[in-house]
Amino acid sequence: MKMVSTQHLKSLIVLIVIFLLNVSTVYSIYEEEIGVKDWRLLNIGEFERFIELPASENTVIVQSRILNNIDSKYPFYSHILSSLDLNTGDIKWRQILPSQEHSFESLLYDDSLYILTISGGNNIRLWNKKTGSLKWYQKVQSVNDKCEGTITKDQVFLVCGGRDIIEVNKETGQITNQYLALEEITDKPLNIIGNSNQLYQINSDKVEFYQHTKGKKSLDKLKSIEKSLNEELDNWITGTLALNINDIIVTGRTTVHLYRVKQQKHQSFEISQFYEGGSGESVASLSYNGANQFQIQLTQSRVVLLLELSGETIKLVQKVNTKEEDTVPLKVVENGLVTRLIQLSGKNRLLVVSQDWSIKLISEGKVQWSREESLSAILNQEIIDYPQVSDISKLSELEYEFNETTGFFTHFARRLSTQFSSLLHPNRDNTPSTSSSNSISKMIIATTLSGKVFGISNDKGRVIWSFFISNFNNDNLKKLPLESSRMKIFITRKVIHYPPEAVLVYETLRAAGGQKQSRVLMHFNPLDGKKTGDDRIFNSEILHVALLPIQEDHNSHRNLLQIVLNYPVDQPDQPPIVYIHPWNEMTRKQSSVLKDISFYLIKGTQVQGYKIDNMADGKHGGFRPLPTWNLQLPQNQEIIAIGKSNPNEVVQAPALILGNRNLLPKYINRNLISLALYEKSTSQLVIHLLDSVSGEIIKSFVNVYSSSYVSIVHTENSVVYSHFDNYLHKQMISSIDLFEQTVKWNDYHYTPYLSQQEQLLIKHKSFVFPELISTLSLAITPKGITAKTILIGLKSGQILPVDKKFINSRRPYPEEVTPNDAEEGLMPYSPKLNFPPWFYVTYNISIPNLKSITSQGTDLESTSLVFSSGLDLFCTSITPSQPYDILSDDFNHLALILTSIVLLILAMVTKNLKSKYTIDKKWK
């Protein structure tokens, strides 16, 4: 029996050991939390081409594109393949192609289960049309890697470089045949006719047709149609396409040519046959719409003609005159010109793509659904508060009454009139208020690359309003974005007691007739998107725009705007001119204060500082600045990023309390900027900390073997930047903290930096980050009490909030830790950072092409609103230091009420007992 017991005991021990070896910590995310405090808006980008699947599936496959590195000097496109439900406009599935594939040559469908794409010139993929899953991938090597192709029943047929023929097995993706059809490189390439193995070549005097036979190493010449395209009006070709294996369309400047292969016939149709105002018009573009339909867009009138091959002729199906709103229910003011008009199968269904990137399905003359795809390319965003109820707005007016020095009786009379006005008109101001139970009620204002401006509610991402700037110049993308003036928003009045005001600054396209470009300042109400005044137009280039910390007057609470213009242009040695906006009598009284304003301009590797000096245009508020300093950086280095303080950040404490209870003063300089310079030949990254008022470099940091992709964020006395180390193959994040060794608390200086570097204590440490970083931002809170948190946007599309204590440059090395460090709460330095999965605020989703993160404080100090943009939009609220000022969801409210009632009863009983005891005591 003892033997048996011992054996059972051993077996039990073995089982326990095996169980313990297989036990590990499992991290999980409660999926029911997704969508409770956050929302996500999915986009597909700018429409390029499409394939309509059979009518029974009610689906369209869309090829689109997005602009990567929009905030860099070298932007490029990447492409997207997606499936849209024609009933709702929702995305069924979406595939984002690799960013290094900058072109998309072909999108083909074989009437079965698969879709063929050719991208990046020679990357061939076969997709499942229902699920979007990839069946196979093949990269073709040829004499010229730019390919086009077709998909047949059993193979994929490719033509690369216009002369290299390639066969690919449809099931496996393996290349089965390859040969050169044309020995010499030509500017008249071979083109595939529809989903077939036939090809055509357009020459000056004829169109030649060929056929490829599976397995052969040469083409069979079929026939040729001899007809010159060099007619009197057609002296160049604007486009070619194959409607099917028998019909080819070639557009000249004013003529549409139809080539019938079987009939060996050629027909020509003048544009004026389809459009009465076509005289003097020319074809701007030609595109295929499917089902023997194609569309042409005219150059001058921007008219879109939807044409169809019917029998032996071409007929007009639909005409859209974008200057007349009589064809489809679209508003040109809201959507711009129509760029694509697609006739879908079914009764009276049109898919309309507009200049503002919007996609609309029009059925029976009504808009069935709409997608705002311009939100996939946001340039700039701001978050504002809804104003409080109108009664509270009187508080600022009362405060103004007692700040003025016009005498007691004036104050008394104004106060009486204010009180009577409140009684007679209690709800005179109809501005929206935060009456919702949700404590976070804000508006997100966003400008987009297409020129459309949106007002988005932070509640579920509803678009409240939008307007379109049709003449916005979005071509100039190679300026340094942090200093350019392309469509920026400035909230000139953001106090919660008044309706906010905003100014939109943008550059227009060059007008017809050689007129110069103009720069526009447009005033609008950010709550409803309506214009609130006349535009101010400048004909000179805007070099710099900034919101000044100076108000127009005490009553309006409207901040002034500083605009720096490149004027005069023909005198480069002269300083630019500075305009103050708005300019009126109240602003004129503050001319002396304006002379304390300094700014800087960057031109190439030169950084020039200025200070407002003398009046140059008294009528319009123009000043001539005085150059104060000049910094010439090395010519072999390039400025790739600029960091500056966030104007919305609140500094709660000017010093740190150390473990020994001493104070360590923070070096807080709002004029501190950081310049990231990159030297390509040596892969060297240099970070300069520069005082923008005095122009002196406080400190420089050199990072060797670095990449050129850098992101910088400032917070209080700290600068945090990220870069990739090419030598270690690691993502690095570095922290710089600046402190003052001695400080005179009662002294005031316009710039805290006084060329006394020996008085500064500067700490710097770098950490290895576990993932690639895309962008950095700062979590903003109303009072700055909550722990400083860096919002890190990852290349994977997720957002990770990191407490500043993890990347604190004062973290001591383990062998140098003192009791005072432990008392202060400093963690020992470790070069590697790791964070658990539940730290990510994006849960298990990602934002492709994540570009920017914006944060704003809420009514609760513990909570911050975070809005991020990329291909998709994502918005959520975070609590960096936990919700210390919010009752939890499982808080026992009933127990609190009962306890309060019991305490109230006990207090009343105790009061009566004490009163009775006091009376009885006096009677004794």
pLDDT for the residue 232: 42
How far apart are alpha carbons 700 and 899 in whole angstroms?
61
Per-residue pLDDT at 192 exceeds 90: no
Going by C-alpha positions, the residue among 374, 340, 336 that lies closest to residue 357 is 374
Per-residue pLDDT at 881 exceeds 50: yes
What tokens appear for 143 in the block?
């004499």
Phi, psi of 219 (to 5 degrees): -95, 150
What tokens appear for 664 in the block?
């360590």
Read off the pLDDT of residues 201-243 as tens digits, 9 standing for 90 and up: 877 667 778 888 888 888 888 777 776 555 443 445 677 777 7
Going by C-alpha positions, the residue among 826, 834, 874 that lies closest to residue 850 is 874
8 Å CB contact between 52 and 109:
no
pLDDT category at 273 given cuts 50, 70, 90 is confident
Q: Quick count: other Cβ atoms within 10 Å of Cβ 196?
A: 16
pLDDT category at 799 given cuts 50, 70, 90 is very high
How far apart are alpha carbons 102 and 68 in whole angstroms?
10
Measured in whole angstroms, the distance separating CA 383 from the mean position of its chain's CA atoms is 14
- Summary mean pLDDT of the chain: 81
Q: Quick count: other Cβ atoms within 10 Å of Cβ 348?
A: 11
Per-residue pLDDT at 746 exceeds 90: no
Segment among 181-190, 522-531, 703-712 with least mean pLDDT:
181-190
Read off the pLDDT of residues 6-38 as tens digits, 9 standing for 90 and up: 777 777 777 777 776 665 555 555 566 777 788
8 Å CB contact between 449 and 374:
yes
pLDDT for the residue 483: 46
- 298 against 806, higher pLDDT: 806
pLDDT for the residue 586: 83
- CB burial of residue 198 (10 Å; 0-12, 13-18, 19+): buried
How far apart are alpha carbons 780 and 855 in whole angstroms?
6
pLDDT category at 754 given cuts 50, 70, 90 is low
Going by C-alpha positions, the residue among 337, 359, 319 that lies closest to residue 48 is 359
Measured in whole angstroms, the distance separating CA 791 from the mean position of its chain's CA atoms is 16
8 Å CB contact between 541 and 505:
no
CA angle 790–804–818, rounded 5-degree value: 170
SS3 593: helix
- Give me the residues paired with residue 598 across strands: 611
How far apart are alpha carbons 449 and 432 in whole angstroms?
29
Per-residue pLDDT at 408 exceeds 70: no
Per-residue pLDDT at 662 exceeds 80: yes
Going by C-alpha positions, the residue among 456, 434, 453 that lies closest to residue 444 is 456
Q: Which sign does the torsion angle of CA 88, 90, 93, 96 carry?
A: positive
Going by C-alpha positions, the residue among 793, 883, 807 that lies closest to residue 842 is 793
pTM for the model: 0.84
pLDDT category at 283 given cuts 50, 70, 90 is confident
- 749 against 835, higher pLDDT: 835
Q: Quick count: other Cβ atoms within 10 Å of Cβ 277?
A: 13
CA separation (Å) from 225 to 160, 197, 203, 231, 540? 24, 19, 10, 16, 55
Going by C-alpha positions, the residue among 674, 677, 653 that lies closest to residue 736 is 674
Per-residue pLDDT at 256 exceeds 60: yes
Give me the mean pLDDT over the 185-214 stretch. 75
How far apart are alpha carbons 439 and 835 in whole angstroms?
30
8 Å CB contact between 609 and 673:
no
What tokens appear for 279 in the block?
């005289």
8 Å CB contact between 499 and 525:
yes
